[in-house]
Amino acid sequence: MEAVNNFLLLLDSYLGSAFYFPYVLLGVGIFFTLYLGFPQLRYFKHALKVVSGKFDKKGCEGDTTHFQALSTALSGTVGTGNIGGVALAIFLGGPAALFWMWITAFLGMTTKFVEVTLSHKYRVKTADGTMAGGPMYYMDRRLNMKWLAVIFAIATIISSFGTGNMPQINNIAQSMQASFGLEPMLVGGLLAIVLALVIIGGISRIAAFTSRIVPFMAIVYIIGSLSVILYNVDQIVPSFVAVFADAFTGSAATGGFLGATFAYAFNRGVNRGLFSNEAGQGSAPIAHASAKTDKPVAEGMVSILEPFIDTIIICTLTGLVILSSGAWNQKYENVFARTDIDIIAGHYSDQNAADREALYHYINNTDENRIEKYTGDIQVRDGRPVSNDFTILHARSVAENVRFIVAGEDPYSGTLHVEHGQLRKQDIVIVGDSLLHSAALTAKAFSMGFLGQAGEYIVPISLMLFAFSTAIAWSYYGDRAVVYLFGQRGVMPYRILYVAGFFVASFTDTTLVWTMSYVAIVLMTLPNLFGIMLLRREMKETVKAYWQDFNAEHAKHKQQ
């Protein structure tokens, strides 16, 4: 499994983590923003009217209302990325990463408008009478590139497990165990039953469920966020200043945070932005294809609201909670994750300016790095290291008050061998003070508001709602990809496998699944971006025709 995981990471280094990927994603967004004349600004007000049902017509083919399609798509995007993803971006790239999440979302509003419009235009009615759409249909029916459509559909099925299913329930189960002491298998079993009851009913039941849960979970999260932001109201302006001041220079070292280069902040912000709002990935068009309308552009306009709600509103709230509370650059006691531990040669302190500079170059892997990974022995007495020719880094920070524990809570004494920065002995647990990241950082930040420690419970509750709704939406995306590849006969086996994978992932390691999803996401995104660029002229003509028809109908109603 480790060999497979390493191979997938190697693939990812040439795809999503490659230097070119953020430029391709943003480049397409910039092109369409200019080519279509800033539709995310010009059509925003109109989009609100469309989603409200103001222009609905009776008799249009489809399975859901505009609002239900938007809710389903939002439930697919509003998930762990909004809670843990924002925290991870700030942890890696500092406040500047939030700026690049905003830019990704702003440009993504146009990208999503384009991909949804084109996908809705070429949707089809399936054997059971429901609608099926998505990039694979315009790739096949309009571009005559069935091979590209097949690649996209397969990547969608993989992503349904790797993005929307297994990591989501794993995060839910771990969060519920940490906060409420509930067994992961119990949590997974109960939610798997609810998941099955919802998705077996198809898009109608999914849409009905998500249209109720999405507004509720958004309200809960917004109230919880404001309880922290308003408590730390004097830090709101400094937080925004930090976001903008470091946007083009990278984030400077502060507290336990050792700093991040511009390239790192830019890459992490764009990647986390894509993971959060999925603009350009081609997933949301699958949900929007079910909407009842004969105007593909109208549904495209509804989708403009998605990145705005997901990233500009919800991710910004998370970012302000983390930045205004100050939790992002402070160290807290925690159990060290093996994958976040790095032991380097020499003794370094983040309180020393020269050491901090050297550590900055090391963790950002710059050309000026002179630090080497440690290989040798660590002498430990009563759980504490007694030698100082090495430094333990955890979560990109200098670890403090480090203790080595074995067999539950017994302090370890003896010799530990380290090879190339990694501890060889597997049954040792390391506890100490370091930076936090992902959902743990968000939870800590939520405890620093009006609700005090009770605020931490907002994160697991919100995570459960966000992540579970994501799993529901992605089941539909995979469902439609299966219909494209295998027809209606493949739907029920897929749904059964989807529910089974959901349950198993609640109590097993999903590292491999996460890594697989990194590759699958890009195998969805790159073909989709390529396809919509080929159809750029058709997109412009389609939008022009929509406004001509709309103005003609509007003038007719005025005369009547």
Residue pLDDT, tens place only, 165-219: 888 888 888 888 878 888 999 999 999 999 999 898 777 788 888 888 888 888 8
What contacts 57, CB < 8 A, 6 or more positions away? 293, 294
CB 196 within 8 A of CB 57: no
Q: How far is it, in rounded angstroms, from Cα 437 to Cα 87? A: 6
> Phi and psi at residue 453, in whole multiples of 5°?
-60, -30
Examine residue 439 and state whether it is found in any structural domain, yes or no: no
Examine residue 49 and state whether it is found in any structural domain, yes or no: yes
Q: Is the pLDDT confidence value at 558 over 90?
A: no
Bridge partners (DSSP) of residue 415 are 379
Let me know whether 289 and 348 are in one domain. Answer: no
Its pTM stands at 0.88
Let me know whether 268 and 403 are in one domain. Answer: no
Q: How far is it, in rounded angstroms, from Cα 351 to Cα 353? A: 6
**Burial of 205 by CB count in 10 Å (0-12 exposed, 13-18 middle, 19+ buried)?**
middle
Let me know whether 300 and 351 are in one domain. Answer: no
Mean of the pLDDT values across residues 339-364? 92
Q: Is the pLDDT confidence value at 347 over 80?
A: yes
Number of separate domains in the chain = 2
Examine residue 13 and state whether it is found in any structural domain, yes or no: no
Let me know whether 270 and 128 are in one domain. Answer: yes
Let me know whether 321 and 426 are in one domain. Answer: no
Examine residue 560 and state whether it is found in any structural domain, yes or no: no
- Reported as type and span, the H/E element at residue 131 is strand 131-132
Residue type, 90: I
Let me know whether 230 and 352 are in one domain. Answer: no
The per-residue pLDDT for 376 is 94
Examine residue 151 and state whether it is found in any structural domain, yes or no: yes
Residue type, 413: S
The region of weakest confidence among 138-142, 236-240, 551-555 is 551-555
| CA 542 vs CA 37, 298, 375, 410, 466: distances in Å | 14, 11, 63, 69, 34
What contacts 419, CB < 8 A, 6 or more positions away? 375
When the pLDDT of each residue in the chain is averaged and rounded to a whole number, the result is: 89
Let me know whether 54 and 203 are in one domain. Answer: yes
The per-residue pLDDT for 560 is 62
pLDDT band at 46 (very low <50, low <70, confident <90, very high): very high
pLDDT band at 77 (very low <50, low <70, confident <90, very high): confident
Percent pLDDT > 70 in the chain is 97
The per-residue pLDDT for 1 is 65
Mean of the pLDDT values across residues 334-360? 92
CATH number at residue 254: 1.20.1740.10
Q: Is the pLDDT confidence value at 410 over 80?
A: yes
The per-residue pLDDT for 275 is 65
Instruction: Tell me which DSSP letter residue 560 carries.
Output: -
Let me know whether 218 and 326 are in one domain. Answer: yes
What contacts 334, CB < 8 A, 6 or more positions away? 431, 432, 433, 434, 436, 440
Let me know whether 401 and 280 are in one domain. Answer: no
Residues in the chain: 560
The per-residue pLDDT for 436 is 92
The region of weakest confidence among 179-188, 411-420, 511-520 is 511-520
Q: How far is it, in rounded angstroms, from Cα 160 to Cα 258? A: 36
Let me know whether 368 and 511 are in one domain. Answer: no
Mark which of 390, 408, 434 sits at the end of a domain.
434
27-64 core/surface letters (b: 16 or more CB in 10 A; e: else): ebbebbbeebeebbeebeebbeebbeeebeeeeeebbb
Examine residue 131 and state whether it is found in any structural domain, yes or no: yes
Range of the domain at 175: 37-330+447-519
Let me know whether 371 and 469 are in one domain. Answer: no
pLDDT band at 59 (very low <50, low <70, confident <90, very high): confident
Let me know whether 384 and 312 are in one domain. Answer: no
The per-residue pLDDT for 485 is 95
